[in-house]
Structure 1
């Protein structure tokens, strides 16, 4: 009986559910949090797909903000965050980082006016800028301290791409002449508001291009490598690619072929 009890206890441990806490902040269409507290955007779809694929793992979402995400991580409120660039303040933290799994870029947007062309964006430090508080921007050297940014630039802080575009269309040059908006969000916005094609001047050069990874706590319940293992079935059956494309986002160049090569070599299986 003792042997049977030990075997039962061992089996129970083996199938015990692992809870993985995921930090999510407003970063559409990559991520967001709905009125019911549930994740939206690509992250929302991905969490649903992971829950359906891996019954022995539960994924609890922790709502954070662009400014607060590092404090909340340091406080241990969540252990994993999807779709972050290591350059956005993670390099000095005890984390594991996956290879890039998503790509996007941010563009400058202004109001179309007679005589205004793309040279308007040549030096945006001369313009009044609207930017989202807590986001990292190329033009600012990835500085996120609002007080520093206000000393260096004529800058207004927004809480969403939607509000940033509304400020641009309001034509108040003293408040906002240039907004920085992600390519994926801009495509989504223009699909929903095609009339804005004739209203907005969009830069042909990005503020930054980024490749985004999974970042996980070094001593947490799931490393970045473990998260890639959980993602593997969704990549293999094409579901991850379909979710990315659904939200107008892009996979990094060579992602699928390199993923298949790594899987074949056993890297993603922990060998």
Structure 2
């Protein structure tokens, strides 16, 4: 007859072996589940798309931590919410550096832009129109010409605009040498810089996107200082421009634009920008 010790030892050994076997089985199951989760995650990983633009006053700017902020930045970031195939990473560059960024294929999408303002060698293709907007003329209320007369015969006035931009007043030629030779112009690095420049009485007239000016006019103090011409410098259809050999196609981006329209994001953006109707550009 086996001793009690022997019986107990045998039972404990058997129980211990079962525990080890169970632990190994559970470990294998956990590892298998982890591998499946990783594989599934890899299969559903979003495709990275670099969205590059310049600043648009307080509508698109870098905060103190160099994070893009503003209503336009929020609109771009909404593209990450309405779908789950692509991840859009927004980057803000100085205006003149953007051309090189797209020429070197370091970015894939130029948001809310018109193809009329880009060079063919950039290889950018437009999506469907998101909204129509334009550049407007503005001046100080207390200008030396007596109110809105400052907008008469603009070629005789000092005019401030953004370096590298296309303006009808300057025959849509962004070349600085051409502009300085043919116009009494000041070229500034940003739209907000143009507004500050004119309000400091350093130029008679400024040209900025209407959506940028609309944001500034929300401030009662600015409204007292500024008058706006009743016609555009130019008016264009804005869309997202897509690099033709990039990670996302125009068709895929159009589908995302449709989602933004269906979700009400485009309508909300227009309301925030308070886009209004001015007269057509003067010929």
For the criterion TM > 0.5, the same-fold answer is: yes
Q: Report the counterpart of residue 150 of structure 1 in structure 2.
A: 180
Q: TM-score, normalised by structure 1?
A: 0.78
Q: Is 2:206 aligned against 1:179?
A: yes
CA RMSD, Structure 1 to Structure 2 (Å): 2.7
Q: Structure 1 219/48 Cα, relative in aligned 2: closer, same or farther at 3 Å?
A: same
Q: Runs of 4+ in structure 1 displaced over 6 angstroms?
A: 8-13
Partner of 1:229: 255
Residues 102 and 33 (structure 1), Cα distance of their counterparts in 2 relative to 1, 3 Å cut? farther
> Any unmatched runs of 5+ in structure 1?
1-7, 252-271
3-state DSSP of counterpart to 1:53: coil
CA 1:95 to 1:181, structure 2 compared with 1: closer, same or farther past 3 Å? closer
Q: Does 1:34 align with 2:63?
A: yes
- 1:51 counterpart (50, 73, 80): 80
Give the paired residue count.
241
The structure with more radius of gyration: 2
DSSP 3-state at the match of 1:67: helix
SS in 1 for 2:96: coil
- Structure 1 distance, partners of 2:197, 2:122, is 36
Aligned to 2:216: 189
Q: 1:19 aligns to what? A: 48
Alignment of 1:100-249 (within 5 A): 100-112=129-141, 113=143, 116-171=146-201, 175-192=202-219, 194-249=220-275
Higher helix share: 2
DSSP 3-state at the match of 1:78 = coil
Gap change, CA 1:49 and 1:196, over 3 Å in 2? closer
Q: Could you say what secondary structure the match of 2:102 adopts?
A: helix
Tell me the SS of whatever aligns to 2:221.
helix
- Per-residue CA deviation, residues 237-267 of structure 1 (Å, 9 max, x unaligned), is 213311332233479xxxxxxxxxxxxxxxx
TM-score by length of 2: 0.75
**Alignment pair present for 1:96 and 2:125:** yes
Q: Matches of 1:29 and 1:199 in 2, distance apart?
A: 18
SS of the residue 1:176 aligns to: coil
C-alpha change, 1:199 and 1:218, in structure 2 (3 Å) is same
